C-alpha cells in the first residue's frame, strides 16, 4: 500500500503532465490571440498620431541610400523586438501588417520618435532625426517592394 505522500506526489506528477499537454494544445491559440492583440495595439497607436505629424513628408523618400542605412539602423535598434525581418515576436508586433504599411511616413516617424512606452517600445527621440527618417524609409520600402512584386517587376 502506498503512503499518502507517495499518492500526492503521483497526483502532482500526473497534473504537471496534463498541464504540459494542455499548454501545448492551447499555446497556438494563445499565440494567435497575442498576435491579434499586438495588431490592434499597432492600429490604436497609429490612429492617435496628431494630424500635423501624420501629414509630415519624408525628406529622404527618394534617397536610395536611405533604405540601406535604415536597414542597418533597424537591425541595430528594432530587430531585437520586432524580429530580423520585422515579422514580430512575443515582445513586439509585426511591422509587415496593413496598418504599418499603409501608415503615412509622418505617422511612422512620430511612433519611432515617441515610442510606445506603455507597451515597452522605447522613445527614439535621441536618435538623430535623419536616422529616424532612414528607418521610416526602410519600413516603407517593403510596401514598394511588395507592390513591385504584385505588378511583376
This model's pTM is above 0.85: no
Q: Is the pLDDT of residue 72 over 90?
A: yes
pLDDT of residue 44: 83
Partners of 121 in the beta sheet? 116
**114-129 pLDDT, tens per residue?**
999 998 999 999 999 9
Break the chain down into helix, strand, coil percent, rounded to 5.
70, 0, 30
Count Cβ atoms below 10 Å from residue 25 Cβ, excluding itself: 9
pLDDT of residue 10: 55
Q: Is the pLDDT of residue 92 over 70?
A: yes
Distance CA 139, CA 105 (A): 9
Q: Is the pLDDT of residue 45 over 80?
A: yes
Distance CA 116, CA 146 (A): 27
- Assess if residue 90 is contained within a domain: yes
How many domains does the chain divide into? Answer: 1
Distance CA 83, CA 91 (A): 9
Is residue 82 within 8 Å of 135, Cβ to Cβ? Answer: no
- Assess if residue 124 is contained within a domain: yes
- Assess if residue 12 is contained within a domain: no
- Assess if residue 25 is contained within a domain: no
- Assess if residue 121 is contained within a domain: yes
Residues in Cβ contact with 98 at an 8 Å cutoff, skipping those fewer than 6 apart: none
pLDDT, the chain, mean: 79
The band of 110, judged by pLDDT with boundaries at 50, 70 and 90, is very high
| Cell numbers placing 139 | 519600413
**6-20 pLDDT, tens per residue?**
644 455 444 444 444
3-state secondary structure of 71: helix
**The Cα angle at residue 127 between residues 58 and 113, in degrees rounded to 5:** 60
Domain that holds residue 133: 38-150
- Assess if residue 145 is contained within a domain: yes
Q: Is the pLDDT of residue 142 over 90?
A: no
- Assess if residue 16 is contained within a domain: no
Percent of the chain's residues with pLDDT above 90? 59
Question: Which of 71 and 150 is assigned the larger pLDDT?
Answer: 71
CATH no. for residue 145? 1.10.760.10
Q: Is the pLDDT of residue 39 over 80?
A: no
Is residue 58 within 8 Å of 136, Cβ to Cβ? Answer: yes
- Assess if residue 18 is contained within a domain: no
Residue 109: which of 43, 55, 72 has the closest Cα? 55
Amino acid at each position: 500500500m502506498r503512503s499518502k505522500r507517495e499518492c500526492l506526489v503521483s497526483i502532482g506528477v500526473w497534473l504537471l503532465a496534463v498541464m504540459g499537454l494542455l499548454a501545448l494544445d492551447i499555446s497556438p491559440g494563445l499565440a494567435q490571440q497575442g498576435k491579434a492583440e499586438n495588431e490592434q495595439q499597432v492600429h490604436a497607436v497609429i490612429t492617435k498620431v496628431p494630424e500635423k505629424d501624420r501629414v509630415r513628408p519624408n525628406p529622404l523618400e527618394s534617397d536610395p541610400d536611405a533604405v540601406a542605412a535604415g536597414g542597418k539602423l533597424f537591425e541595430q535598434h528594432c530587430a531585437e523586438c520586432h524580429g530580423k525581418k520585422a515579422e514580430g515576436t512575443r515582445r513586439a508586433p509585426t511591422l509587415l501588417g496593413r496598418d504599418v504599411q499603409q501608415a503615412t511616413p509622418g505617422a511612422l516617424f512620430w511612433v519611432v520618435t515617441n515610442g510606445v512606452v506603455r507597451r515597452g517600445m522605447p522613445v527614439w527621440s535621441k536618435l538623430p532625426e535623419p536616422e529616424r527618417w532612414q528607418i521610416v524609409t526602410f519600413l516603407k520600402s517593403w510596401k514598394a517592394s511588395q507592390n513591385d512584386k504584385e505588378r511583376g517587376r
